[in-house]
Structure 1
Protein backbone atom coordinates (compact mmCIF):
# COMPACT_ATOMS: atom_id res chain seq x y z
CA UNK A 1 0.00 0.00 0.00
CA UNK A 2 1.54 3.37 -1.02
CA UNK A 3 1.44 6.49 1.16
CA UNK A 4 -1.10 8.00 -1.27
CA UNK A 5 -3.42 5.03 -0.68
CA UNK A 6 -3.16 4.99 3.11
CA UNK A 7 -3.27 7.40 6.01
CA UNK A 8 -2.12 6.18 9.43
CA UNK A 9 -3.17 5.65 12.10
CA UNK A 10 -5.25 2.70 10.97
CA UNK A 11 -8.39 1.20 12.50
CA UNK A 12 -9.30 -0.29 14.83
CA UNK A 13 -8.63 2.87 16.82
CA UNK A 14 -7.38 3.21 20.37
CA UNK A 15 -7.89 6.37 22.41
CA UNK A 16 -4.44 7.59 21.38
CA UNK A 17 -4.86 6.84 17.67
CA UNK A 18 -8.38 8.32 17.57
CA UNK A 19 -7.03 11.55 19.11
CA UNK A 20 -4.21 11.54 16.51
CA UNK A 21 -6.74 11.09 13.68
CA UNK A 22 -8.88 13.99 14.93
CA UNK A 23 -5.87 16.31 15.28
CA UNK A 24 -4.61 15.35 11.81
CA UNK A 25 -8.02 16.23 10.33
CA UNK A 26 -8.07 19.57 12.15
CA UNK A 27 -4.54 20.37 10.98
CA UNK A 28 -5.34 19.46 7.37
CA UNK A 29 -8.57 21.46 7.20
CA UNK A 30 -6.80 24.50 8.69
CA UNK A 31 -4.47 24.54 5.67
CA UNK A 32 -7.55 25.40 3.55
CA UNK A 33 -5.95 23.38 0.74
CA UNK A 34 -8.76 21.36 -0.92
CA UNK A 35 -6.38 19.03 -2.80
CA UNK A 36 -4.38 18.20 0.32
CA UNK A 37 -7.52 17.65 2.41
CA UNK A 38 -9.10 15.39 -0.23
CA UNK A 39 -6.22 12.89 0.01
CA UNK A 40 -7.38 11.83 3.49
CA UNK A 41 -10.57 10.42 1.91
CA UNK A 42 -11.16 7.32 -0.20
CA UNK A 43 -11.55 8.03 -3.93
CA UNK A 44 -15.29 7.23 -3.59
CA UNK A 45 -15.80 8.79 -0.14
CA UNK A 46 -19.37 9.85 0.61
CA UNK A 47 -20.26 12.96 2.57
CA UNK A 48 -23.39 14.52 3.89
CA UNK A 49 -22.59 18.11 4.75
CA UNK A 50 -25.64 20.05 5.87
CA UNK A 51 -28.05 19.43 2.98
CA UNK A 52 -25.41 18.56 0.40
CA UNK A 53 -24.34 15.08 -0.70
CA UNK A 54 -20.74 14.91 -1.94
CA UNK A 55 -19.24 11.77 -3.51
CA UNK A 56 -15.59 11.26 -4.42
CA UNK A 57 -12.42 13.31 -4.26
CA UNK A 58 -13.25 15.53 -7.27
CA UNK A 59 -16.50 16.60 -5.62
CA UNK A 60 -14.72 17.02 -2.27
CA UNK A 61 -12.18 19.37 -3.90
CA UNK A 62 -14.96 21.34 -5.62
CA UNK A 63 -16.98 21.54 -2.38
CA UNK A 64 -14.00 22.70 -0.29
CA UNK A 65 -12.91 25.19 -2.95
CA UNK A 66 -16.38 26.82 -2.89
CA UNK A 67 -16.45 26.67 0.92
CA UNK A 68 -13.16 28.46 1.44
CA UNK A 69 -13.88 31.05 -1.25
CA UNK A 70 -16.85 32.26 0.83
CA UNK A 71 -15.67 31.32 4.37
CA UNK A 72 -12.69 33.65 4.73
CA UNK A 73 -10.02 33.37 7.43
CA UNK A 74 -11.47 29.96 8.35
CA UNK A 75 -10.12 28.55 11.62
CA UNK A 76 -11.24 25.14 12.94
CA UNK A 77 -11.13 23.20 16.21
CA UNK A 78 -12.14 19.51 16.49
CA UNK A 79 -12.48 17.34 19.60
CA UNK A 80 -12.89 13.60 19.88
CA UNK A 81 -16.35 12.67 21.13
CA UNK A 82 -16.18 8.88 20.89
CA UNK A 83 -14.70 6.05 18.82
CA UNK A 84 -15.21 2.35 18.16
CA UNK A 85 -13.40 0.02 15.74
CA UNK A 86 -13.24 2.01 12.45
CA UNK A 87 -15.56 4.86 13.47
CA UNK A 88 -14.92 8.18 15.16
CA UNK A 89 -17.38 10.86 16.32
CA UNK A 90 -16.18 14.44 16.74
CA UNK A 91 -17.59 17.77 17.72
CA UNK A 92 -16.18 20.89 16.18
CA UNK A 93 -16.31 24.65 15.95
CA UNK A 94 -14.98 26.93 13.30
CA UNK A 95 -14.96 30.64 12.75
CA UNK A 96 -14.85 32.59 9.52
CA UNK A 97 -16.18 35.75 7.94
CA UNK A 98 -17.89 36.49 4.66
CA UNK A 99 -16.79 39.09 2.10
CA UNK A 100 -18.85 41.77 3.90
CA UNK A 101 -16.83 41.22 7.09
CA UNK A 102 -19.59 39.45 9.06
CA UNK A 103 -18.09 36.82 11.38
CA UNK A 104 -19.66 33.45 12.15
CA UNK A 105 -19.02 30.61 14.53
CA UNK A 106 -20.23 27.24 13.31
CA UNK A 107 -20.90 24.39 15.74
CA UNK A 108 -21.21 20.82 14.60
CA UNK A 109 -20.86 17.09 14.96
CA UNK A 110 -19.35 14.66 12.51
CA UNK A 111 -19.54 10.90 12.19
CA UNK A 112 -16.57 9.33 10.40
CA UNK A 113 -16.08 5.82 9.04
CA UNK A 114 -12.64 4.67 7.88
CA UNK A 115 -11.40 2.06 5.42
CA UNK A 116 -8.72 -0.41 6.60
CA UNK A 117 -6.15 1.87 4.92
CA UNK A 118 -7.01 4.73 7.31
CA UNK A 119 -8.76 6.82 4.65
CA UNK A 120 -12.18 8.23 5.49
CA UNK A 121 -14.89 6.50 3.47
CA UNK A 122 -17.88 8.28 4.99
CA UNK A 123 -18.42 11.65 6.66
CA UNK A 124 -21.74 12.92 7.99
CA UNK A 125 -21.78 16.49 9.29
CA UNK A 126 -24.51 18.40 11.09
CA UNK A 127 -23.69 22.11 11.45
CA UNK A 128 -25.30 25.22 12.95
CA UNK A 129 -24.09 28.76 12.24
CA UNK A 130 -24.20 31.66 14.72
CA UNK A 131 -23.49 35.30 13.89
CA UNK A 132 -20.72 36.70 16.10
CA UNK A 133 -18.96 40.02 16.38
CA UNK A 134 -15.27 40.05 15.51
CA UNK A 135 -14.56 40.85 19.18
CA UNK A 136 -16.13 37.49 20.12
CA UNK A 137 -13.65 35.44 18.11
CA UNK A 138 -11.68 32.80 20.00
CA UNK A 139 -10.00 30.80 17.20
CA UNK A 140 -7.11 32.48 15.41
CA UNK A 141 -5.47 30.24 12.83
CA UNK A 142 -4.32 26.68 13.45
CA UNK A 143 -4.30 25.43 17.04
CA UNK A 144 -0.90 25.78 18.74
CA UNK A 145 0.68 22.42 19.54
CA UNK A 146 0.48 23.22 23.27
CA UNK A 147 -3.34 23.20 22.94
CA UNK A 148 -3.64 19.85 21.09
CA UNK A 149 -6.12 17.56 22.83
CA UNK A 150 -7.79 20.36 24.79
CA UNK A 151 -11.56 20.52 24.75
CA UNK A 152 -13.52 23.35 23.12
CA UNK A 153 -16.29 25.19 25.00
CA UNK A 154 -19.88 24.14 24.37
CA UNK A 155 -20.95 27.71 23.61
Structure 2
Protein backbone atom coordinates (compact mmCIF):
# COMPACT_ATOMS: atom_id res chain seq x y z
CA UNK A 1 0.00 0.00 0.00
CA UNK A 2 1.46 3.39 -0.97
CA UNK A 3 2.20 5.97 1.71
CA UNK A 4 -0.18 8.40 -0.01
CA UNK A 5 -3.03 5.87 0.07
CA UNK A 6 -2.29 5.02 3.70
CA UNK A 7 -2.60 8.68 4.65
CA UNK A 8 -5.74 9.10 2.57
CA UNK A 9 -7.30 5.96 4.09
CA UNK A 10 -6.17 6.38 7.72
CA UNK A 11 -7.21 10.01 8.09
CA UNK A 12 -10.87 9.29 8.63
CA UNK A 13 -13.63 11.68 9.60
CA UNK A 14 -14.19 13.51 11.82
CA UNK A 15 -11.26 15.70 10.77
CA UNK A 16 -9.07 17.86 12.93
CA UNK A 17 -6.97 20.67 11.52
CA UNK A 18 -3.95 18.35 11.48
CA UNK A 19 -5.72 15.43 9.77
CA UNK A 20 -7.39 17.74 7.24
CA UNK A 21 -4.01 19.28 6.37
CA UNK A 22 -2.49 15.79 6.03
CA UNK A 23 -5.37 14.76 3.75
CA UNK A 24 -4.76 17.81 1.53
CA UNK A 25 -1.01 17.15 1.38
CA UNK A 26 -1.60 13.50 0.52
CA UNK A 27 -3.94 14.54 -2.30
CA UNK A 28 -1.35 17.03 -3.62
CA UNK A 29 1.36 14.37 -3.56
CA UNK A 30 -0.86 11.80 -5.27
CA UNK A 31 -1.94 14.18 -8.04
CA UNK A 32 1.65 15.29 -8.65
CA UNK A 33 2.53 11.62 -9.23
CA UNK A 34 0.37 11.84 -12.37
CA UNK A 35 -0.58 8.18 -11.87
CA UNK A 36 -4.34 7.89 -12.51
CA UNK A 37 -4.68 4.41 -10.98
CA UNK A 38 -2.84 5.44 -7.81
CA UNK A 39 -4.93 8.61 -7.48
CA UNK A 40 -8.21 6.75 -8.05
CA UNK A 41 -7.86 4.47 -5.02
CA UNK A 42 -8.39 7.43 -2.68
CA UNK A 43 -11.99 7.65 -3.94
CA UNK A 44 -15.02 5.44 -3.32
CA UNK A 45 -15.98 3.00 -6.07
CA UNK A 46 -18.99 5.21 -6.83
CA UNK A 47 -17.34 8.59 -6.22
CA UNK A 48 -19.22 11.47 -7.86
CA UNK A 49 -17.17 14.14 -9.59
CA UNK A 50 -17.79 17.53 -11.08
CA UNK A 51 -14.65 18.83 -12.72
CA UNK A 52 -15.48 22.15 -14.38
CA UNK A 53 -18.26 21.13 -16.79
CA UNK A 54 -17.54 17.38 -16.67
CA UNK A 55 -19.75 15.19 -14.47
CA UNK A 56 -18.98 11.50 -13.94
CA UNK A 57 -19.10 8.68 -11.41
CA UNK A 58 -16.75 5.90 -10.36
CA UNK A 59 -13.09 4.94 -10.29
CA UNK A 60 -12.99 3.75 -13.91
CA UNK A 61 -14.24 7.17 -15.06
CA UNK A 62 -11.72 8.87 -12.75
CA UNK A 63 -8.84 6.91 -14.32
CA UNK A 64 -10.09 7.72 -17.83
CA UNK A 65 -10.49 11.41 -16.99
CA UNK A 66 -7.05 11.75 -15.36
CA UNK A 67 -5.32 9.84 -18.17
CA UNK A 68 -6.77 12.23 -20.74
CA UNK A 69 -6.02 15.24 -18.51
CA UNK A 70 -2.35 14.42 -18.00
CA UNK A 71 -1.85 13.54 -21.67
CA UNK A 72 -2.95 17.10 -22.47
CA UNK A 73 -1.44 18.87 -19.45
CA UNK A 74 2.26 18.06 -19.67
CA UNK A 75 4.79 19.21 -17.07
CA UNK A 76 1.91 19.40 -14.57
CA UNK A 77 2.80 20.70 -11.08
CA UNK A 78 0.12 21.31 -8.43
CA UNK A 79 -0.15 22.96 -5.02
CA UNK A 80 -3.22 22.49 -2.78
CA UNK A 81 -3.99 24.52 0.36
CA UNK A 82 -6.53 23.74 3.07
CA UNK A 83 -9.31 26.33 2.99
CA UNK A 84 -11.75 24.91 5.55
CA UNK A 85 -13.07 21.65 7.00
CA UNK A 86 -15.93 20.12 8.98
CA UNK A 87 -16.52 16.62 10.29
CA UNK A 88 -16.42 14.84 6.90
CA UNK A 89 -15.81 17.67 4.41
CA UNK A 90 -12.73 19.57 3.29
CA UNK A 91 -12.44 22.56 0.96
CA UNK A 92 -9.18 23.45 -0.74
CA UNK A 93 -7.89 26.16 -3.00
CA UNK A 94 -5.28 25.18 -5.54
CA UNK A 95 -3.13 26.34 -8.36
CA UNK A 96 -1.16 24.40 -10.87
CA UNK A 97 0.92 25.01 -13.94
CA UNK A 98 1.11 22.97 -17.09
CA UNK A 99 2.12 23.12 -20.70
CA UNK A 100 -0.46 22.34 -23.35
CA UNK A 101 0.86 19.24 -25.12
CA UNK A 102 -0.64 20.34 -28.46
CA UNK A 103 0.23 24.05 -28.57
CA UNK A 104 3.16 24.36 -26.14
CA UNK A 105 1.38 27.23 -24.36
CA UNK A 106 2.10 27.46 -20.63
CA UNK A 107 -0.93 27.88 -18.37
CA UNK A 108 -1.68 28.43 -14.72
CA UNK A 109 -4.95 27.13 -13.31
CA UNK A 110 -6.57 28.55 -10.17
CA UNK A 111 -9.49 26.90 -8.44
CA UNK A 112 -11.39 25.44 -5.53
CA UNK A 113 -12.44 21.93 -4.62
CA UNK A 114 -15.02 20.73 -2.13
CA UNK A 115 -14.62 17.17 -0.89
CA UNK A 116 -16.93 14.87 1.04
CA UNK A 117 -15.65 11.64 2.62
CA UNK A 118 -17.19 8.35 3.65
CA UNK A 119 -16.60 6.97 7.18
CA UNK A 120 -13.49 5.07 5.97
CA UNK A 121 -11.80 8.24 4.70
CA UNK A 122 -12.38 7.70 0.98
CA UNK A 123 -13.64 10.66 -1.03
CA UNK A 124 -17.21 10.12 -2.18
CA UNK A 125 -17.82 13.58 -3.72
CA UNK A 126 -15.38 15.93 -5.47
CA UNK A 127 -16.71 19.25 -6.77
CA UNK A 128 -14.14 21.39 -8.63
CA UNK A 129 -14.25 24.83 -10.25
CA UNK A 130 -11.25 26.42 -11.98
CA UNK A 131 -10.00 29.04 -14.40
CA UNK A 132 -6.96 28.92 -16.67
CA UNK A 133 -4.71 31.80 -17.65
CA UNK A 134 -1.98 31.82 -20.25
CA UNK A 135 1.48 32.55 -18.87
CA UNK A 136 4.94 32.86 -20.32
CA UNK A 137 7.44 30.16 -19.44
CA UNK A 138 9.43 32.85 -17.60
CA UNK A 139 6.39 33.53 -15.36
CA UNK A 140 6.24 29.99 -14.00
CA UNK A 141 6.19 29.64 -10.20
CA UNK A 142 6.60 25.86 -10.04
CA UNK A 143 9.64 24.36 -11.68
TM range (shorter): over 0.9
More strand as a share of residues: 2
What is the number of equivalent residue pairs in this alignment?
137
Structure 1 segments of 4+ aligned residues over 2 angstroms from their partners: none
**Distance in 2 (alpha carbons) for counterparts of 1:126 and 1:47:** 11
- Which residue does 2:105 correspond to in 1? 102
User: Could you list the per-position Cα deviations for residues 60-102 of structure 1 after superposition, in whole angstroms to 9, with x for gaps in the alignment?
Assistant: 0000000000000100000000000000000000000012221
Q: 1:128 aligns with which of 128, 131, 134?
A: 131
- Which residue does 2:80 correspond to in 1? 78
Matched, 1:116 2:140: no
User: Could you list the per-position Cα deviations for residues 36-75 of structure 1 after superposition, in whole angstroms to 9, with x for gaps in the alignment?
Assistant: 0000000000000000002000000000000000000100
User: Could you list the per-position Cα deviations for residues 103-132 of structure 1 after superposition, in whole angstroms to 9, with x for gaps in the alignment?
Assistant: 000000000000000000000000000000
Matched, 1:10 2:4: no
**Distance in 1 (alpha carbons) for counterparts of 2:10 and 2:95:** 24
Question: Residue 136 of structure 1: CA displacement?
Answer: 0.5
**Distance in 2 (alpha carbons) for counterparts of 1:19 and 1:8:** 13
Structure 1: gaps of 5 or more residues? 141-155
**Distance in 2 (alpha carbons) for counterparts of 1:106 and 1:123:** 17
Equivalent runs, 1:32-111 vs 2, <5 Å: 32-99=34-101, 100-111=103-114
**Distance in 1 (alpha carbons) for counterparts of 2:128 and 2:15:** 20
User: Could you list the per-position Cα deviations for residues 11-37 of structure 1 after superposition, in whole angstroms to 9, with x for gaps in the alignment?
Assistant: 000000000000000000000000000
Normalising to structure 1: TM-score of the pair? 0.86
